[in-house]
Amino acid sequence: MSRKLFGTDGVRGRANSYPMTAEVALKLGAAAGRYFRRDGSAAHRVVIGKDTRLSGYMLENALTAGFTSTGMNVLLVGPVPTPAVGFLTRSMRADVGVMISASHNPHQDNGIKFFGPDGFKLSDEAEAEIEAALAGEIKLAQAENIGRAKRIEDGRGRYQEFVKTSFPTGLRLDGLKVVIDCANGAAYKAAPEVLWELGAEVIAIGVAPNGTNINDACGSTHTRTAAEAVVAHGAHVGIALDGDADRVMILDENGKVADGDQIMAMLAARWAEEGRLKGGTLVATVMSNLGLERFLQGRGLRLERTAVGDRYVVEAMRRGGWNLGGEQSGHIVMTDYATTGDGLLAGLQFLAEMVRTGQPASQLVRQFETVPQMLKNVRFAEGARPLDAAAVKAVIEANAARMQGKGRILIRKSGTEPLIRVMAECEDAGLLEEVVDEIVSAVLAAV
C-alpha cells in the first residue's frame, strides 16, 4: 500500500495550502480516529501537542473536530516539544499522539506527525492505512458517542520532570553558564526551566514566539545567533534546539558548532566504556560523516546506517535491539529514555559529561576529524522529477566512478521539501567540489 500524503516525517506542507488545510486536517483526524477505534470499544483518547506556529491553532481545532467526530476523546497539551508528545501519549495511556509541527522549517510550513500508543512514530504501513481511509467514507460516531476535548494544563511540567530524571543522580549544573536557543519554538519554556532547576546559569534566547518567528535566524539550523550569545556572555556552552526541539546542536565556549555526529561519537564512546552501548552499535543515517564510522571502528564499535529520517533510525534500533542512534542534523535518539529524538535530553547528556569529566565543551565536541563533506540543495518545481533524467543519471554515474575508493556520493530527494540534496565526501577537497558542482549543474539543467 503506497503513501502519497505522508512523507518521511508525517504530513507536511505550506499552511493553508494542500495538504496543510483545515479540511484535510479534519479528515485526517477522523481517519486516524477510526483507525485507532477499529475494535469498537469506548474510552479512546488522543494527545495533541503543537509548536508555536500561527497555523497551529487552525490545525489543532480541525484535528480535534476530526477525532471527536469518530468518538475519540482529545487531550490538548499546547506548545510542547515533539518528544513530549511521544512521552505523554505513553504516560497518559492514549491510543495515539499527534504533534503539529514542521520542525526546522519556516513558519509558513506546518506538519502533522502521529505517534502510536507505545510513544513511537507510526510505521509506514500504519500511515498508508490511514491515508487509504481518507479516500473512502469514514464511519462517524453516533451523536451520543461524540468525543470530548480537554486541555491538559500540566503536560509540559510532566515532560520537564521526566527529562530531569535522565540527568545523573548526584550531579548538578552549578557554576555552568549555558546559552539555550529555543528557536522561538516548542521548548521556549521547558528548556530554560529544566536547565535552571538543575542549577545552571541560563542565558535564554529564541524564547519570544509570536507565531511567525519560529526558526527565524535562530535555533539549530541558524547557529550563528547562539554562537554570538555564547561569546558575548562568556558562556561555557551553548545548546541550540530546532522549532519542535527534537534536534540539537552544541556550541563550545568559542562558539564553534558540533553537529549530531560529534555528539553521537561522544555518547557512543562513553556508553561503550560503561557497558551501556547495546550490541556495540550506533545507528545513524547515510548522511553521517565517514569520520564517525572510522572513529567507531577504532574502538571496536560498529555503525549501522539507515535511510535519512529519524523514524528509520528508530525502526532500525528497535529491530536490532540497539539503544543509541541519530542523525548528523541533530536528532539524537536514546531509547533508554525516549521514543524519538530529543534535543533537550541530548543536551543534558552533554552537560553531564562536562560536569563528570571537568573538560571544556571544546574538548568534548571534537571527538574525531571529519572527512571533508559538501552538501548542496537544488529546489525543483512541484511534480518535476529531475533525478529521472537520463543526463542527470549519466553525470551521477560518471562522478561516482571518479570517487571510487576516494570517497562517496549521496544524491536524494528530500522527504520534507521540494529539494534534491547532493552530498559527497572526499579527502581531496578539489575533487569534492568538482563532483558536487557537476552534479548540481546537471540537476539544475533538468529542473
C-alpha cell belonging to residue 157: 511540567
234 conformational bin, left if phi > 0, alpha if psi -120 to 50, beta if neither = left
User: Which positions ≥6 away from 392 have C-beta within 8 Å?
Assistant: 386, 439, 442, 443, 446
Helix (H, G, I), strand (E, B) or coil at 382: coil
- CB 332, CB 346: distance < 8 Å: yes
Most distant pair of Cα atoms in the chain: their distance: 70
Spell out a b/e string for 104-116, using b for 16 or more CB atoms within 10 Å of the CB, else e: bbebbbbbbbbbb
Distance, CA of 426 to CA of 370 (rounded, Å) = 10
Cell of 10: 508525517
Q: In the numeric block, which cell numbers belong to residue 211?
A: 507565531
The C-alpha cell at 408 is 562517496
Question: How is the beta sheet containing 419-426 ordered, strand by strand?
Answer: 373-379, 419-426, 407-413
CA–CA separation, 37 vs 443, rounded Å?
45
120-123 contacts, C-beta under 8 A, 24 or more apart: 120/86, 120/314, 120/318, 120/339, 120/340, 121/9, 121/10, 121/86, 121/311, 121/314, 121/339, 121/340, 123/315
The helix (run of H) or strand (run of E) holding residue 412 is strand 407-413
How far from the centroid of its chain's Cα atoms is residue 351's Cα?
A: 20
| 166 in active site | no
Query: For residue 100, which of 88, 90, 109, 91 has the smallest C-alpha distance?
Result: 109
Cα 12 to chain centroid distance, Å, stands at: 14
C-alpha separations of 279 from 2, 64, 159, 333 in Å = 33, 42, 29, 16
Among candidate residues 69, 101, 103, 329, the one labeled active-site is: 103
Q: Can the peptide bond before residue 19 be classed as cis, meaning omega within 30 degrees of 0? A: yes
Rounded-to-integer distance, Cα 188 and Cα 208, Å: 7
- The residues assigned a catalytic role are 103
